[in-house]
């Protein structure tokens, strides 16, 4: 029989602070070797959820298992250092007076220490930096040491809380790629918290979208972006335009045009369209006027105005080359349709 126990299983976690409900029936299952991003707006409970898994603060109710072992439930509250969890914090939280090697070897048993420190420093690309102090390292290097320290004791899971938010943009992109590779190479199971939707999509195998203290959708990055469960998830994960429509016999009619739709959807609907699902073709008497454009090199975002004054954003390739005031015709390639209540 293959082993199927999840690496992390949170069931029905509740946590309140006075009148604030930080976790409201929070459930999440993470498989062994999976990298999950927990994404949601600021204040939705992401950090509280991570802290509950790590054991820093017992929730009011619910259960947490790590590697098939119950670490929190009624009458059970295993101490953080006994949960086999590695943590990486936003501010790295390295011991400032200890060398890189001592930081990384901190949680490793003495007989394995030298070998294991060398192994994880190699994994994070810091071989040769063993004797430096954290103050002698760049932000990115400190982040690698923090990750090496978390991985060194071979934890069941690694939890990362906004790990890239202290790095500037070019370093952040590189660190994201590096951290993803390091976690994969280590075969680690990881949950990382972010409020940045593009980061959540880029780094993870699985995205768990959180709102108001609980997870509202879990899926692959492609799934949650292309097939959001509701209009809120759609707009949280990227730019989108919402229009009202009526679905009948497999077609949704909106005042922007008609879209094919799953035949089971009937009646009043809300249609969500992403900017990159729109094709804009230059036309002398086109239906929309270019009000503004942002040129990014690899593509461009057009701000368009329709005849009725409504504004629509379209993300198009490097071409067509357009200017403010130019007219375009629009074609809507895709849409996501939700019943309207």
DSSP single-letter state for residue 135: G
Least separation in angstroms between residue 79's CB and ligand ADP is: 19
Pairing of strands 278-282, 251-254: unpaired
Q: Considering only CA atoms, which of 100, 104, 89 is closest in space to residue 164?
A: 89
> What's the token pair of residue 2?
């293959």
Site map (CB under 6 A) of ligand ADP, residues 35-64, x = contact: -----x-xxxxxxx----------------
Query: Residue 2, interface with ligand ADP (CB under 6 A)?
Result: no
Q: How many CB atoms lie within 10 A of CB 196?
A: 16
Least separation in angstroms between residue 327's CB and ligand ADP is: 44
Least separation in angstroms between residue 212's CB and ligand ADP is: 10
The smaller minimum CB distance to ligand ADP, of residues 162 and 326, is found at 162
The smaller minimum CB distance to ligand ADP, of residues 211 and 340, is found at 211
Q: Considering only CA atoms, which of 138, 149, 206 is closest in space to residue 172?
A: 138
Distance CA 340, CA 242 (A): 11
Query: Residue 17, interface with ligand ADP (CB under 6 A)?
Result: yes
Q: Considering only CA atoms, which of 246, 322, 236 is closest in space to residue 280?
A: 322
Backbone Cα Rg of the chain:
24
Query: Residue 217, interface with ligand ADP (CB under 6 A)?
Result: no
Pairing of strands 251-254, 257-260: antiparallel
Least separation in angstroms between residue 195's CB and ligand ADP is: 7
- Give Dmax over CA atoms of the chain in angstroms: 77
Q: How many CB atoms lie within 10 A of CB 86?
A: 24
The smaller minimum CB distance to ligand ADP, of residues 15 and 240, is found at 15
CA distances, 10 to each of 13, 66, 290 (Å): 7, 9, 49
Q: How many helices and strands in the chain, by DSSP H and E?
A: 8, 21
The smaller minimum CB distance to ligand ADP, of residues 22 and 337, is found at 22
- Applying CB under 6 A, among 8, 10, 13, 22 the residue interacting with ligand ADP is 22
Distance CA 298, CA 280 (A): 16
The smaller minimum CB distance to ligand ADP, of residues 48 and 300, is found at 48
Site for ligand ADP (CB under 6 A): how many residues? 11
Query: Residue 20, interface with ligand ADP (CB under 6 A)?
Result: yes
The smaller minimum CB distance to ligand ADP, of residues 32 and 195, is found at 195
Query: Residue 317, interface with ligand ADP (CB under 6 A)?
Result: no
Least separation in angstroms between residue 160's CB and ligand ADP is: 13
Catalog residues that contact ligand ADP under the rule CB under 6 A. 17, 20, 22, 40, 42-48
């Amino acid at each position: 029989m293959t082993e199927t126990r999840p690496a992390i299983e949170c069931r029905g976690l509740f946590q309140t602070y006075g009148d604030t409900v930080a976790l409201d029936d929070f459930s999440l299952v993470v498989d062994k070797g999976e990298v999950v991003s927990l994404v949601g707006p600021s204040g939705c409970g992401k950090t509280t959820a991570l802290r509950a898994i790590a054991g820093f603060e017992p929730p009011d109710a619910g259960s947490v298992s790590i590697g098939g072992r119950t670490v929190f439930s009624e009458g059970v509250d295993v101490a953080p250092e006994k949960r086999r969890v590695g943590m990486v914090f936003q501010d790295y939280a390295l011991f400032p007076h200890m060398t890189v090697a001592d930081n990384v070897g901190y949680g490793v048993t003495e007989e394995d220490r030298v070998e294991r420190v060398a192994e994880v420093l190699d994994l994070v690309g810091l071989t040769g930096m063993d004797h430096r102090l954290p103050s002698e390292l760049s932000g990115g290097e400190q982040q690698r040491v923090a990750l090496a320290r978390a991985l060194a004791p071979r934890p069941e899971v690694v939890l990362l809380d906004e790990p890239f938010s202290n790095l500037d943009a070019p370093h952040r992109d590189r660190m994201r790629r590096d951290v993803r590779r390091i976690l994969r190479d280590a075969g680690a199971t990881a949950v990382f918290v972010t409020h940045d939707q593009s980061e959540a999509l880029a780094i993870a195998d699985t995205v768990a979208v959180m709102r108001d203290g609980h997870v509202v959708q879990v899926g692959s990055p492609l799934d949650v972006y292309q097939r959001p469960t509701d209009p809120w998830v759609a707009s949280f994960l990227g730019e989108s335009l919402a229009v009202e429509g009526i679905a009948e016999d497999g077609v949704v009619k909106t005042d922007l045009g008609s879209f094919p739709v799953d035949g089971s959807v009937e009646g009043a609907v809300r249609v969500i369209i992403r900017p990159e699902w729109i094709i804009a073709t230059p036309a002398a008497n086109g239906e929309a006027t270019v009000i503004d454009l942002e040129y990014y090199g690899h593509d461009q975002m057009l701000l368009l105005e329709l005849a009725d004054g409504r504004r629509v954003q379209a993300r198009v390739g490097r071409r067509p080359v357009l200017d403010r005031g130019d007219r375009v015709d629009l074609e809507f390639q895709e849409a996501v349709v939700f019943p309207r209540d």
